[in-house]
Amino acid sequence: MFPQLTRVTRNIIILNVIFFVATFLFVNLNIDLGPLLAGYFPLSPNFRSWQIITHMFMHGNFLHIAFNMMTLWSFGPVLEQVLGQKKFIILYFAAGLGGFALYNVWNYFEVSQITNFLNSQGYNVHEIYRYADNNYSGEMPISSNSEAVREAAQRLFIILKTPMVGASGAIFGIIAAFSTLFPDAELIFLFIPFPIKAKFLTPIIIVISLFLGFRQVSGDNIAHFAHLGGALIGFLYIWNWKKNRDRIE
């Protein structure tokens, strides 16, 4: 299940572990790296340009980083050997950026709908942005008797205040790339009692991510559209790479 680690894959895993450990070490010094390095919605007052990259190295808990790094260890070395180090790095970060982009495109449409609704109700949306700033430590007062307005204001506050963390976009891009490159490879997962061919992984990822992303179950804090964006970039990258390779050959 775990092939011998190649150079780039090993270094990416090491970087993720360093960020994860540093996050807990700095907490003991009363320094929270989360608001600084996690990826916020680009229109949020908490967004910083470097978060587009740094959010890929931040993880919420041990299970989160363990799943991502074990998956990278399983699929990364094979892709790195086939593509070469440079193209593998491009694939990894392009998938991560794709995940961030699609996740926030979805957020943008949702924010636009909420903002238009609140404006139509005469609610001061700019106040929500002020309260969502991490430098503001108080609660967000909602001065409205309308239940719909209160719910919309709270939803906008959550989008602006909640960061995206993890390498999941990049990891799902790696999975999709592997599935596209080796469609008939049989894979075994702990939660599936029988082998499954790699070519079925990408469609499964897309269907599940779309379903859970649109459904938006209460309490589900997983960035499903980031998974979808990463998988899409992984597929397109390998599809283009194979096309150019076949053309040269």
pLDDT one-digit tens code per residue, 75-132: 999 999 999 999 999 999 999 999 999 999 999 999 999 999 999 998 889 989 999 9
Q: What is the pLDDT of residue 69?
A: 94
Find the CATH number of the domain harbouring 164: 1.20.1540.10
Q: Which domain holds residue 238?
A: 7-248
Q: Give dist(CA 116, CA 46) in Å, integer.
A: 22
Residue 164: what are its φ and ψ, rounded to 5°? -100, 130
According to DSSP, the β-strands at 186-187 and 196-197 are: antiparallel
Is the per-residue pLDDT at 216 higher than 70? Answer: no
151 or 213, higher pLDDT: 151
In a domain, 203, yes or no: yes
Q: How confident is the model at residue 187 (pLDDT cuts 50, 70, 90)?
A: confident
Q: What is the pLDDT of residue 195?
A: 73
In a domain, 1, yes or no: no
Q: Up-side HSE of residue 19: CA atoms within 13 Å toward CB?
A: 25
Percentage of residues of the chain with pLDDT beyond 70: 89
Q: What is the pLDDT of residue 191?
A: 59
In a domain, 130, yes or no: yes
Is the per-residue pLDDT at 172 higher than 70? Answer: yes
In a domain, 2, yes or no: no
pTM of the model: 0.89
Q: What is the pLDDT of residue 117?
A: 95
Query: How many folded domains does the chain comprise?
Result: 1
**How many secondary structure helices (H) and strands (E) does the chain include?**
10, 2
In a domain, 135, yes or no: yes
Task: For residue 106, give Cα distances in angstroms to 112, 113, 115, 134.
Answer: 10, 11, 14, 22
SS3 183: coil
Is the per-residue pLDDT at 184 higher than 90? Answer: no
Q: What is the pLDDT of residue 247?
A: 61
In a domain, 40, yes or no: yes
In a domain, 69, yes or no: yes
Is the per-residue pLDDT at 221 higher than 80? Answer: no
Q: What is the pLDDT of residue 173?
A: 94
Q: What is the pLDDT of residue 80?
A: 96
